Structure 1
Amino acid sequence: MPYAPCADFTLRHPSDEALAAYAEELAAEIGKTARFYDETGGFPSEHFELLRQRGALKLTIPRALGGRGLSLYELLIFQERLAKGSASTALSLGWHLMALGYLSFDLKWPRPAFERLCRGVVQRGDLVNILITERDGGNLLRGGKAATVAHKTGEGYVISGRKAFCSAAPALNQMILYAWDEQAGKTAEFLVPRTPDVHVVENWNSLGMRSTGSHDIEFDGVLVPHEAKLLEIEKDQPSSFTTGSRAFGLQVAAVYLGIAAAARDFILEFADSRQSPSLGSAILDAPHAQQKLGEIELLLSASKTQLYGLAELWERHDALKHRLHHEVWTTKYMVTNNAVRIVELAMGIAGGHGLSRDFPLERYWRDVQCGLHNPPQNDMVVSTLAQAATRDYRQRRREAEKPAAPGASAQTAPVETTAQAESTVSQTASIPTEEAVFH
């Protein structure tokens, strides 16, 4: 029996417990074939058929539109547990759930377009992803110009180009595409359905997250109606998927936390079931194993506290929702890096057995490395925080050095507006580093 803690403080009430049980049931089912898909690198269509049948694709759609209306906090509960069955499947589904979560939270599209998208998910089981990354330009949310082009005609827009790292590419029915609108001279969000002119280029062959199906997709003169253009991206203004401090991106951190928890569960069972001749007891009782296990528990607890604590803060305080960019990025950094360390510690307890493909630990080790390459990457987080600290310090110093006017009272620093808060990250996020982004 896998280890499970007696009480999980992240489950606040019975509805959280029911959601966790639902996710664990799904994880147990997809976990039966996770190793097979990891070894073959194939896309787990059967997993997504199960998720479709069990209602998982509509979790973050509002209840009024036929979904379950999960909150950010609840999304993290679900993703952490689903990832214990198959991290690749959880991450692929996560982009879909994340996209619908953002749109449900702060809709910038025309309402009828969003409702049509939701109907497709609820009634047909459509799978959705946001296609933002290009081979040469990287993640376009960093401010680059899209090489994918939308040419306006009398019939609609003709879209041509290629997107990279498109998770669940073989199964996508609707694609939210960032393309350069030639006439407007701006990047815009387009909703593009799968058509014969949409081609999956099967080039995903990675060390970890092998069954996400994150292939390239080519758009060969795809014609979409004029209303497929949903939002123009304005400089220093939030897009549909940078709004709300990008908090729904925390689902990525929850996936890697799930991998770490699965590694902890495995190593407890493994080390307790094998005897150490020198100790005369289970390997789990060895001092070095106890030391590593204690570190694992510390890192897991710290990660859960930070991840779920931030989600609850975000949900409880509307005035903060657009002002927590740095906290969201810091949490992603800490949770994913802690997850890597947790799996390394579990490998240290397992010894040479940890490298065996007969056990899932080597898959956990490969999969967890990918968290360092999902956005925002470590270098970008560290650089952004450093620039912000430098800017804030110099601003305070300039204010302190200003000579006070005779008889003037101390002035209060100006309050940052929502628009300014939303643009903080975009102003500091243009660091040109190579990135592999799984979208």
Structure 2
Amino acid sequence: MNFHDIKSFDERLAFMKNLSKKFLIRAHQIDIEGSFPFENIQDLKTSGYTSLTVPKKYGGEEISLYELIRLQEMIAEGDGATALSIGWHMGILLNLSEKEPWDEGIFKVLCEKVKQGALINSAQSEPMTGSPTRGGRPVTYAQKSGNNWLINGKKTFTTMSPVLDYFIVNAAIKDSNEIGNFLIPRSTNGVEIEETWDSIALRGTGSHDLILNNVMIPDENFVERVRFENKRANGWLLHIPACYLGIAKAAKKYAIQFAENYAPNSIQGTIIDLPNVQQKIGEIELKLMQSEYFLYSVAKQWDISSEQERDKMGPILGAAKLTVTNSAISIVDLAMRIVGAKSLSLQNPLQRYYRDVRAGLHNPPMDDMTIQLLAKHSILNCQ
């Protein structure tokens, strides 16, 4: 049985829960070694998960954004690094399916490859530009060469790089002011991965550097011109807060299990009955409820909205990411306060959860950009 055989959302969620339990067993070793979760990604490919956001006309299930974030959240309860990694692939396919910015022929071929197990992610960040969401012009450049494009440059934070089959690379077009997105197969000559990922958070994402040295691709692989002035809202990026919400839920579960079993001889029974512990559990539950209702309602709003309505959702999408991610950090902190000093042991998952949720502050959109966007939105609506 795989995800394509299951038509009920609840059954898919249950199926993912079983996979997530496997990911949880492997998570500690992956984190300690700083290795890549090859087995987890293979399990997701074998289960048919990686093609669920492919359009039905190309053999996928065309699942909704709401269903995607719920499944992503479940993955993250097992392993945040696996969730964030595969979330980029799933979300990019969802975004391309919804907005159709590419020529249909090349997108159809990509979907057929995904059905066969291929994985894709964007490579946008560079050392000189920082986050691509801040609008810096890439140093990576593309130069026309007959019916081909010659691309040179370096990209950082290329998540899931050990197993990617395709990279969407943004590059400045030489001798013009334009920026383009180029689809580069991993097998292309001149494509190299430099293993530089040494973060203390989400150590298993394999977010190494991508080196492009005289990479030659055909003209049809120039898939899209980047237009910052007409930038559209991106519902698919809700896979990011979904990941951190899942990690927060894992932290809550661990803290409660610990409290139910920890019985110091200074009290009768276990610490689960202590008022101060129940206070923290209640605070955790409140933050989780707020996060769930915010994130899920925004995803559902996206799913039922028209294209024009979606393009107005930028502020609320950013607010959902900011709220959920910061709440996840608070939730893990509260869980660690319940467990106490033991939460700082390398053998304890809470210290990993804490490091992992902090990474959410550096995923797009950044908090400061969201606050500025909300301010502009508020001022505009008051005029």
Residue 51 in 1 paired to residue 39 in 2? no
SS at match of 1:216: strand
Distance 1:119 1:295 in 2: 46
Task: Tell me which amino acid in the other structure corresponds to 2:100.
Answer: L
Normalising by structure 1, we get a TM-score of: 0.83
Q: Does 1:335 align with 2:300?
A: no
Give the alignment of 1:21-420 within 5 angstroms. 21-123=14-116, 125-194=117-186, 195-238=188-231, 243=232, 245-318=233-306, 319-390=308-379, 392-393=381-382, 396=383
Q: Secondary structure at the match of 1:48?
A: helix
1:26 Cα deviation (Å)? Answer: 1.4
Deviates more, 1:180-189 or 1:92-101: 180-189
Question: SS at the partner of 2:204?
Answer: coil
Residues 133 and 364, structure 2, Cα contact 8 Å, conserved in 1: no
| Deviations 1:346-369, CA, capped at 9 Å, x for gaps | 000000111112221111111111
> 1:209 is aligned with what amino acid?
L
Once residues 193 and 207 of structure 2 are traced to their aligned partners in structure 1, the CA distance between those partners, rounded to angstroms, is 10
Q: Secondary structure at the match of 1:236?
A: helix
Shift of 1:274: 1.1
Q: What are the Cα deviations for residues 322-376 of structure 1, in whole angstroms up to 9, with x where unaligned? A: 1110000000000000000000000000001111122211111111111111111
Cα contact 1:58–1:122 (8 A) shared by 2: yes
Q: Which runs of 5+ in 2 are unaligned?
A: 1-6
Cα deviation 1:177-209 (Å, max 9, x = unaligned) = 111112553001110001241111111011110
* Preserved CA contact (<8 Å) 1:330 1:381: yes
Whichever residue aligns with residue 339 of structure 1, its letter is A
Q: Does the 8 Å CA contact 1:132/1:141 hold for their aligned counterparts?
A: no
SS across alignment from 1:275: coil
Question: How many aligned positions are there?
Answer: 375
AA matched with 1:32: I
Q: Distance in 1 between matches of 2:290 and 2:135?
A: 33
TM-aligned CA deviation for residue 385 of structure 1: 1.9
What code does the residue aligned with 2:217 have? Answer: V
- 1:278 Cα deviation from its structure 2 partner: 2.9
- Determine the C-alpha separation between the residues in 2 that align with 1:152 and 1:336: 42
Alpha-carbon deviation of 1:317? 2.6
Shift of 1:46: 1.8
Task: Tell me by how many angstroms 1:390 deviates.
Answer: 4.1
Deviation per residue, 1:242-262 (Å, 9 max, x gap): x3x211100100000000000
- Give the Cα–Cα distance (whole angstroms) in 2 for the partners of residues 71 and 182 of structure 1: 38
SS at match of 1:157: strand
SS of the residue corresponding to residue 138 of structure 1 reads coil
Q: With structure 2 as the length reference, what TM-score do the two structures score? A: 0.95
Q: Is the Cα–Cα contact under 8 Å of residues 91 and 212 in structure 1 kept in the other structure?
A: yes
**2:189·2:216 contact (CA, 8 Å) conserved in 1?**
no
Query: Which runs of at least 4 in structure 1 moved beyond 6 Å after TM superposition?
Result: none
Match of 2:156, SS? strand
